[in-house]
Structure 1
């Protein structure tokens, strides 16, 4: 009788596991079919991520401009505004096309330190004050490095662009960044 009771418990546990799987599958299907989710598809395709890495949804892409000494540059950026998004950033991406980037909003101006752990592409990092002024630039960061990359003073935003963008496009400290989150826009 004891073994029969054990079989009942094992069978019940298996059925509960199956039921949980069905509930998760239905929830995922509902999310995929939801119009709100369809409008907020990620700017990165699953093919751009390394295998077996779950996607994190970001806002955007949306327009961002940088006013340089030689003119205004336009970019399409994804926006990381919450802890999960800021923690993931561009980690696990295989590429970042020219003219694209990611804007991190830390909500308040403070010293910020970034790193490249699990980031497989080299980046330029622009550290931006709340008024949109570029405070400092870290060029051609080292992929997968755990070295700390400090902002050099209080900033609210960090803009990550493909490595070499700052030099190639003439982006320098003091240039002005414009975006709906920056400088009251």
Structure 2
């Protein structure tokens, strides 16, 4: 009986995770979407923690060089840059928090259209390399298709 209860608890935790997700390196991460200038500027600022299976996906209208900084971000992150074909361009791994007025910038190694922020250390754990693909959940794809239709 204890085994059944343990299994039900584990399944219950999975069932509670809903909303947009991405898959990278065979793992699924539930993401908040930042698709406006205001949301992209705020990002993950002022947060003290983020669950291991969570992240933030930044959507840009076009593919171009991107650069992120960690102003008022309190948790170390890995920043993944993806091109329009959803292939990994580069990773800024283990980017530390920054609470000073002058924070360094972490640029992509080439043009990117999508940026994923996850907890620091996951790029190493997932063994990501340039060219790896990211998969978006159907609701993210629908949002992207809708934004193309409105142009």
Give the TM bin, normalised by the shorter chain: 0.7 to 0.9
Give the aligned CA root-mean-square deviation in angstroms.
Answer: 1.9
Runs of 4+ with >2 A deviation: none
CA distance in structure 1 between the partners assigned to 2:94 and 2:21 by the alignment:
23
How many Å separate the matches in 2 of 1:172 and 1:117?
A: 27
Give 1:146-161 correspondences, 5 Å limit: 146-161=103-118
- 1:142 and 2:99 matched: no
Match of residue 64, structure 1, among 11, 16, 22: 22
What secondary structure is seen at the aligned counterpart in 1 of 2:85? coil
TM-score, normalization by structure 2: 0.75
Cα deviation, 1:96-154, whole Å, max 9, x if unaligned, reads 11011000011110111100010010000000001110000010001016101001111
Unaligned runs of 5+ residues in structure 2 are 1-17, 146-151
SS in 1 for 2:20: strand
Given the alignment of the two structures, is residue 89 of structure 1 paired with residue 43 of structure 2, yes or no? Answer: yes
Structure whose CA Rg is larger = 1
Q: Which residue of structure 2 aligns with residue 76 of structure 1?
A: 30
Greater relative contact order (Cα < 8 A, sep 6+): 2
Q: TM-score, normalised by structure 1?
A: 0.61
Gapped runs of 5+ residues in structure 1? Answer: 1-59
SS at 1:85 equivalent: helix
Q: Contact 1:61/1:79 (CA < 8 Å) preserved in 2?
A: no
